[in-house]
Amino acid sequence: MGTAYETVGVVGLGTMGAGIAEVFARAGLAVIGVEADPDALERGRSHLSRSTEKALRRGKLTEEERAAILGRVTFAGDLGALRDADLVVEAIPEIMEAKRALFAELDRICGPGTVLATNTSSLSVTALAAATTRPGRVVGMHFFNPAPVMRLVEVVRTVVTDPGVAEGVAGLARRIGKTPVRVGDRAGFVVNRLLLGYLNRAVGLLERGVASQHDIETAMRLGAGLPMGPFALLDLIGLDTAYEICEVLFQENRDPSFAPSPLLRELVAAGALGRKTGRGFSAYTDEPSRPAP
């Protein structure tokens, strides 16, 4: 029998985790957001509050709907709060050892029916499944940034995932308004594998002086019909995240087009990580979606 997903845990409340929590709460599920660091927990709480406040101002939500969404989300600093969750989505930083330790801990804490999912961008879902005693109930559930807007979820099935579990998670993705695609456990899955090579090559073009940042952005928006150019997208994804994905893809495939560009490396070393730090390829004002003039 498939799992009836009613209570979902989200571990890690950074940009992606907070967005994922919002998506589930908007779809009517009870959400438990867990973040060990109290400051990060507070940022996650205020992210949800600001995002729903913006939707209220734009007339996309009523006061009542906003209150209901906020009322469905509880926050905790401890994984013990996830004991009875039907599904837990992990959205912590892309560090394999930290993720494996978390999956082992979740496996100890959660009931045997809980499905454990990872939002990893490029790390091995199989390696995370192997850290648990329930590999059949471990999947990838990969959302895209901004999670409340982007309609795709990659459902990653390993060789040991129970096919019924993967189908149940795909059904859940549809229930929260997303379109699922089923993908195998290969670094970068489909979207990042195709997208990051392009983004990394765009940085290479800029470094070699083939065109200016502005002209590369314009070329890809107007010539390829993309909603944003490669540098705006890198700033949205986060340059550290993009760097890590390129590095994993390079290590796995030995394909030089994934070797992170020196300029990307330099910006990451300088702490210019994109919108989240207010500076990446562009500088950003307080309004995160608007580059500074």
Rounded to whole angstroms, the Cα distance separating 173 from 7 reads: 14
Residue ranges in 152-191 that form contacts with ligand 3HC under rule CB under 6 A: none
Query: Quick check: 95 binds ligand 3HC (CB under 6 A)?
Result: no
Binder of ligand 3HC out of 1, 149, 159, 269 (CB under 6 A)? 149
Determine whether 207 is an active site residue. Answer: no
Residue in 124, 192, 200, 282 annotated catalytic: 192
Separation of alpha carbons 170 and 147, rounded Å:
16
- 289 counts as catalytic: no
Q: Which is nearer to ligand 3HC, 204 or 288 (CB)?
A: 288
Cα 254 from Cα 260, distance rounded (Å) = 12
Q: Is 206 in the site for ligand 3HC (CB under 6 A)?
A: no
Of the residues 22, 90, 142, 244, only one is catalytic, namely 142
Annotated active-site residue 192? The verdict is: yes
The least CB distance from residue 148 to ligand 3HC, in Å, is 4
Least separation in angstroms between residue 169's CB and ligand 3HC is 17
CB of 213 closer than 8 Å to CB of 267? no
Binding of ligand 3HC by 200 (CB under 6 A): no
Q: Is 121 a catalytic residue?
A: yes
For the residues of 102-158, what is the DSSP string, one character each?
A: HHHHHHHHS-TT-EEEE--SSS-HHHHHTTSS-GGGEEEEE--SSTTT--EEEEEE-
Residue pair 104/88 in contact by the 8 Å Cβ criterion:
no
User: Of the two residues 110 and 237, which places its CB atom closer to ligand 3HC in the complex?
Assistant: 237
Asked if 42 and 121 count as a contact pair (C-beta separation under 8 A), the reply is no
Strand order of the sheet with strand 87-90? 73-76, 30-34, 7-11, 87-90, 115-118, 138-142, 152-157, 179-184
Q: Is 192 in the site for ligand 3HC (CB under 6 A)?
A: yes
Please report whether residue 289 would count as binding ligand 3HC according to CB under 6 A: yes
For ligand 3HC, the closer CB: 7 or 250: 250
Q: Which residues bind ligand 3HC (CB under 6 A)?
A: 51, 58, 60, 121, 144-146, 148-150, 192, 195, 227-228, 233, 237, 241, 289
